[in-house]
């Protein structure tokens, strides 16, 4: 007879109780739609879900050759009905604007734009240069309470020669000025970014390799948007395949991508193992298992209590017992 370690059993019981506070026992994600190429960057805005369908040649096989002409921005009804809102951008992360428009990372276009969610028309460019040079590949973004925006740039673009000195995080201040707040060399691939409900902590997900490894990192946020006191917030659980990778550098490949946060400060991050959830102190609260590896998440629905999950060819949703948080508020 195999005896379970009492400490391990106690940890499992505690984690299950934490998870049950978030998702009712027995509830699993519902597939809303499928047939996409590579879904990314979801945002709930005025009763609809907006997300990117990025066209890559063969992402499952590691061929990330993209095509802005074949990539699409999608708008979806709560029941899964959807239509193409815009073509022509290798769009990635999205968030709501204070104006009610949609802010989009045009990754291969080297810019962050604001567009009309009714017709997909670009209204203005929010960011395309830093320190006098073009940005590389804006990936994901989050807004603070003042209307400032943090943007990650992992330089995931087709150009061999990059414009910026390395992977970075930018801050677009409320007055429109922009600067680097996390400089080159801090992360191998800064990706998803989120801010705590009290606005005091910024979180950054590193997707793979070093520096950054399989961790979510946290920073203190100052009134002007600057960051300090970098620290590890949470360790992303890895799959057996990653842990057994032949190259040591690949043994940190968590796939940590887009993220979300709820009003109690729990952190949700899309990873290779599913949507991993962490409490405000960084301790694990369980994983939402999804049929395909999730790529990004956001809260939505009338009461902001539905977690929408995008990943590879599909979009899912799961009813939760919590409520999501994101600036600007009141965009349901």
Q: What is the pTM of this model?
A: 0.96
Domain of 93: which CATH number?
2.120.10.30
- CA distances to 33, 36, 175, 241 from 86, in Å: 18, 15, 28, 37
Strand-pairing partners, residue 317, are: 30, 308
Closest by CA to 182, choosing from 227, 139, 214, 148, is 227
Q: Which residue bears the tokens 């499928």?
A: 34
Instruction: Identify the DSSP state of 20.
Output: H
Q: ∠ at Cα 44 (88, 155), nearest 5°?
A: 45
**What pLDDT sits at residue 9?**
79
Report if residue 158 sits inside a domain.
Answer: yes
**What pLDDT sits at residue 191?**
98
Q: What are 213-251's pLDDT values in tens digits?
A: 999 999 999 999 999 999 999 999 999 999 999 999 999
Q: How far apart are the C-alpha atoms of 204 and 191, rounded to whole Å?
A: 7
Q: What are 98-149's pLDDT values in tens digits?
A: 999 999 999 999 999 999 999 999 999 999 999 999 999 999 999 999 999 9
Q: What does the pLDDT average to over 1-13? A: 72
Q: Please report, in angstroms and rounded to a whole number, the separation of the first and last CA atoms in the chain.
A: 53
Q: What are 151-205's pLDDT values in tens digits?
A: 999 999 999 999 999 999 999 999 999 999 999 999 999 999 999 999 999 999 9
- Bond from prior residue into 328 cis (ω within 30 degrees of 0): yes
**What pLDDT sits at residue 330?**
83
Backbone phi, psi, residue 297, to 5°: -145, 155
Q: What does the pLDDT average to over 317-322? A: 98
**What pLDDT sits at residue 158?**
95
Q: How far apart are the C-alpha atoms of 273 and 284, rounded to whole Å?
A: 13
Report if residue 10 sits inside a domain.
Answer: yes
Domain extent at residue 193? 6-325
pLDDT greater than 90 at residue 298: yes
**What pLDDT sits at residue 3?**
62
Task: State both tokens at 249.
Answer: 């550098």
**What pLDDT sits at residue 13?**
87
Q: How confident is the model at residue 4 (pLDDT cuts 50, 70, 90)?
A: low
Average confidence score pLDDT of the chain: 96
Report if residue 331 sits inside a domain.
Answer: no
**What pLDDT sits at residue 165?**
98
Q: Say how many domains are in the chain.
A: 1
**What pLDDT sits at residue 175?**
97
Q: What are 245-284's pLDDT values in tens digits?
A: 999 999 999 999 999 999 999 999 999 999 999 999 999 9
Torsion, CA 202, CA 220, CA 332, CA 173, rounded to 10:
-90
Report if residue 332 sits inside a domain.
Answer: no
Task: State both tokens at 246.
Answer: 């032949």
Looking at per-residue confidence, does 61 or 137 come out higher? 137
Q: How far apart are the C-alpha atoms of 33 and 22, rounded to whole Å?
A: 24
Report if residue 1 sits inside a domain.
Answer: no
Q: What does the pLDDT average to over 21-29? A: 97
pLDDT greater than 70 at residue 48: yes
């Amino acid at each position: 007879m195999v005896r379970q370690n009492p400490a391990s059993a106690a940890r499992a019981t505690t984690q299950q109780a934490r998870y049950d506070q978030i998702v009712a026992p027995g509830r699993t994600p519902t597939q809303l739609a499928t047939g996409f190429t590579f879904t990314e960057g979801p945002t709930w805005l005025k009763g609809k879900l907006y997300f990117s369908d990025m066209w890559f040649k063969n992402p499952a096989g590691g061929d990330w050759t993209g095509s802005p002409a074949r990539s699409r921005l999608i708008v979806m009804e709560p029941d899964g009905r959807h239509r193409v809102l815009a073509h022509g951008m290798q769009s990635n992360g999205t968030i709501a604007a204070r104006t009610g428009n949609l802010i989009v990372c045009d990754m291969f276009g080297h810019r962050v734009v604001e567009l009309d969610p009714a017709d997909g028309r670009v209204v203005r460019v929010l960011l395309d240069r830093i320190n006098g040079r073009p940005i590389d590949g804006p990936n994901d973004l989050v807004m603070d309470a003042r209307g400032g925006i943090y943007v990650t740039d992992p330089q995931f673009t087709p150009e061999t020669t990059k414009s910026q000195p390395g992977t970075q995080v930018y801050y677009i201040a409320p007055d429109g000025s922009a600067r680097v707040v996390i400089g080159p060399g801090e992360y191998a691939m800064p990706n998803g970014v989120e801010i705590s409900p009290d606005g005091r902590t910024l979180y950054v997900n590193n997707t793979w390799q070093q520096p950054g490894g399989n961790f979510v990192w946290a920073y203190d946020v100052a009134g002007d948007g600057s960051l300090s006191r970098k620290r590890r917030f949470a360790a992303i659980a890895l799959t057996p395949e990653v842990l057994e990778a032949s190259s040591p550098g690949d043994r940190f490949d968590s796939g940590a991508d887009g993220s979300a946060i709820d009003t109690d400060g729990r952190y949700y991050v899309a990873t290779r193992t599913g949507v991993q959830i962490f409490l405000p102190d960084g301790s694990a609260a369980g994983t939402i298992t999804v049929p395909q590896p999730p790529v990004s998440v956001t809260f939505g629905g009338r009461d902001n209590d539905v977690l929408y999950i995008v990943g590879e060819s599909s979009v899912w949703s799961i009813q939760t017992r919590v409520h999501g948080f994101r600036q600007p508020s009141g965009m349901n």
